[in-house]
Amino acid sequence: MEYSPQYSGTGERCYSRVIPVAAAAGQGRCMNDTALDRPDTFAARPAAVTTAFVALVVAVSCGIAESIVRSVSLLDDDAAGIGSLASGWLLRTVVYVVVLGIAWRMRRGDRWARLLLTFGIGVIGTASLVVEPIGMFAASGWELLADIGATTVLVAITRIGHLCAVFVAIPAMYTPAARAWFRAGRAAAPVGSVSTAPRDPGPRAGPGTPIRIPGRRRA
């Protein structure tokens, strides 16, 4: 199957089953069959960005694990607190879903998502994780260690894991490779978008020149 080059209203040459888009409006942009079949791709995502996303998922998982440990402990102590536990779980679920959604947008290259994660998880979230144990130690001192039980140990383990995951995720989003990738944005247009890259110009067509899509040549 052979095709001859066609020209848009501004004289831009289109090849290989190229579909002139908005040629009548004089925009002179072309879209070919390769663009139609191309998936929504980006520039090669740095490993640091993937690491940051995985670390954020781990941080959320540690938060969920800590919530489960605390809920089980509260149910053992006071069965009448089911209503407060349910409301607490509802709030936490919303927070976890929002964080994972923003982390996914960060993984796709959105700079605003990286900024939200930096301040929301890196600053506010970290502060909320360390304020409570510091306050408890300041109030009880070393006597706090004498009252450590299984619940306290499990909470400490999940919280340490949470902090470690955050301390991995936030710096990973600001490595040189990650910063360059976020600045560059998407390297390829999504499916069905119109390519505006300059092409080989051909002879300019007149205002009344019809634009046709080349088809199969007759034998």
| 137 shares its domain with 63 | yes
Does residue 30 sit in helix, strand or coil? Answer: strand
Residue 209, Ramachandran bin (φ over 0: left; ψ between -120 and 50: alpha; else beta) = beta
Q: Which residues are bridge partners to 21 per DSSP?
A: 29
75 with 27, same domain: the answer is no
Q: What pLDDT is recorded for position 75? A: 75
User: Whole-angstrom Cα distance, residue 165 to residue 160?
Assistant: 9
Residue 148 lies in a domain: yes
Domain count, the chain: 2
Is residue 12 a part of any domain in this protein? yes
| Average pLDDT over every residue of 6-30 | 45
Same domain, 31 and 113: no
Residues 6+ apart with CB under 8 A from 144: 136, 137
Query: Using H for helix, E for strand and C for coil, what is the string for 59-101?
Result: HHHHHHHHHHHHHHHHHHHCHHHHHHHHHHHHHHHHHHHHHHH
- Cα(125)–Cα(129) distance, integer angstroms: 6
Q: How many CB atoms lie within 10 A of CB 11?
A: 14
Q: Note whether 21 and 122 are same-domain residues.
A: no
* Res 32 pLDDT > 50: no
The whole domain housing 23 covers 6-37
Q: Do 62 and 150 share a domain, yes or no?
A: yes
Q: Does residue 55 contact residue 38 with C-beta atoms inside 8 Å?
A: no
103 assigned to some structural domain = yes
What pLDDT digit, counting tens, does each position of 78-93 carry?
555 677 778 888 999 9
**Amino acid in position 208:** G
Q: Are 80 and 17 within one domain?
A: no
Could you tell me if residue 190 is inside a domain?
A: no
Judge if 25 and 55 occupy the same domain: no
Say whether both 89 and 68 belong to one domain: yes
Q: Does a structural domain hold residue 109?
A: yes
pLDDT tens per residue, range 120-173: 999 999 998 988 888 877 777 677 676 777 888 898 899 999 999 999 999 999
Quote the pTM value: 0.63
Which residues neighbour 105 within 8 Å (Cβ) at sequence distance 6 or greater? 112, 113
The whole-number average pLDDT for the span 167-191 is 82
